[in-house]
């Protein structure tokens, strides 16, 4: 699924890309986070060049990119740092998946801004998990910081049909390559309707789809029979996690 074996450097990148955001003991200045000698961005660009799924790179704002890198505290020697510093985010498969970067006019959410108030309350807090991407169904992808299982650093998917955090057994780098070359049609089997590509072309990246009946209900399992409406991503996220809370699926977060 991914093509990372040709450089020993990637062993380092896999590790560095998973230790961010979870309460580092020392806050590093942004100058220490920008790696000019061995940046990961050319490697990520090569992955995108060979992608079999459509990948759109959103333009970045240099000030927002610097801020995002500083608040996440990850080096540009890692793929995550490269995405944060070099892009406003990535749109995968016609925008079905939105990989968070430093924010752009079209995807006006940086990774640290999106997590603040959700997975942590103040920068420097320990985070049980860290949101890195989401999809048009209301699903969220997150790095496990210890709150989702013992496999710290691995990616989980919060499935909107089950409302459960499901382990993907990917590192962040492997998740990127899943987005670039993975069988997304298989992963989302049963949740794509006829003409979804045309619908996404008209959908703002600040919106996702709310379905009625809801995907997590018994009546909402056949997406072909559900009605759908575009709603703000924030609104759908809050609704899904409120339902999880009502069902006792969420543990209290650190304040």
Task: Render 161-195 in DSSP notation, one character per residue.
Answer: TTTEEEE----HHHHHHHHHHS-HHHHTTTS--TT
Band (3; pLDDT cuts 50, 70, 90) = very low
User: Which pLDDT tens digit goes with each residue over 31-77?
Assistant: 999 999 999 999 999 999 999 999 999 999 999 999 999 999 999 99
* CATH number of the domain where residue 120 is located: 3.40.1580.10
2 has pLDDT over 50: no
29 has pLDDT over 90: yes
How many domains does the chain divide into? 1
Is residue 211 included in any domain, yes or no?
A: no
Cβ neighbours for 93, distance < 8 A, ≥ 6 positions apart: 53, 54, 179, 184
19 has pLDDT over 80: no
Over residues 11-29, mean pLDDT:
54
Is residue 209 included in any domain, yes or no?
A: no
Evaluate whether 67 touches 74 at the Cβ level (below 8 Å).
no
Distance CA 87, CA 128 (A): 25
The pTM is what?
0.89
Is residue 161 included in any domain, yes or no?
A: yes
Is residue 246 included in any domain, yes or no?
A: no
Over pLDDT 90: what percentage of the chain? 83
Is residue 227 included in any domain, yes or no?
A: no
Is residue 225 included in any domain, yes or no?
A: no
H/E run at residue 156? strand 155-159
Write down the pLDDT at residue 25.
Answer: 54
Is residue 212 included in any domain, yes or no?
A: no
Q: What's the whole-number average pLDDT of the chain? A: 90
User: Which pLDDT tens digit goes with each residue over 189-238?
Assistant: 999 999 999 999 999 999 999 999 999 999 999 998 999 999 999 999 99
Is residue 94 included in any domain, yes or no?
A: yes
Distance CA 148, CA 145 (A): 7
Evaluate whether 44 touches 83 at the Cβ level (below 8 Å).
yes
Over residues 163-182, mean pLDDT:
97
Give the structural domain span for 103.
9-184+197-202
Of the candidates 112, 152, 159, the one whose C-alpha atom is nearest the C-alpha of residue 134 is 159
H/E run at residue 203? none
Write down the pLDDT at residue 250.
Answer: 78
Phi and psi (nearest 5°) for 36?
-85, -20
Residue 29: burial class (beta carbons within 10 Å; 0-12, 13-18, 19+): exposed
Write down the pLDDT at residue 22.
Answer: 52
> Which spans in the chain are helix H?
9-16, 30-33, 41-49, 62-72, 79-86, 111-115, 172-181, 184-187, 196-201, 233-246
Over residues 23-35, mean pLDDT:
84
């Amino acid at each position: 699924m991914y093509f990372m074996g040709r450089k020993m450097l990637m062993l380092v990148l896999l590790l560095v890309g998973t230790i961010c955001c979870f309460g580092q003991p020392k806050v590093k200045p942004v100058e220490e986070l920008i790696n000019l000698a061995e940046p990961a961005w050319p490697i990520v660009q090569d992955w995108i060049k060979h992608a079999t799924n459509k990948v759109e790179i959103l333009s970045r704002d240099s000030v927002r990119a610097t801020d995002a890198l500083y608040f996440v505290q990850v080096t540009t020697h890692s793929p995550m740092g490269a995405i944060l510093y070099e892009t406003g985010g990535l749109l995968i498969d016609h925008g079905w998946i939105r990989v968070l970067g430093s924010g752009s006019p079209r995807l006006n959410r940086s990774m640290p801004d999106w997590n603040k108030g959700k997975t942590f309350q103040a920068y420097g807090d320990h985070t049980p998990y860290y949101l890195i991407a989401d999809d048009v169904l209301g699903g969220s992808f997150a790095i496990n910081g210890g709150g989702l299982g013992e496999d710290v650093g691995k990616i989980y998917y919060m499935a909107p049909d089950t409302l459960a955090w499901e382990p993907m057994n990917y590192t962040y780098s492997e998740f990127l390559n899943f987005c670039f070359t993975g069988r997304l049609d298989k992963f989302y089997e049963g949740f794509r309707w006829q003409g979804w590509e045309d619908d996404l072309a008209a959908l703002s990246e600040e919106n996702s789809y709310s379905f009625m009946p809801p995907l997590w209900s018994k009546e909402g399992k056949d997406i072909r029979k559900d009605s759908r409406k575009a709603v703000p991503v924030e609104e759908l996220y809050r609704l899904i996690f409120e339902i999880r809370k009502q069902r006792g699926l969420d543990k209290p977060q650190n304040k």
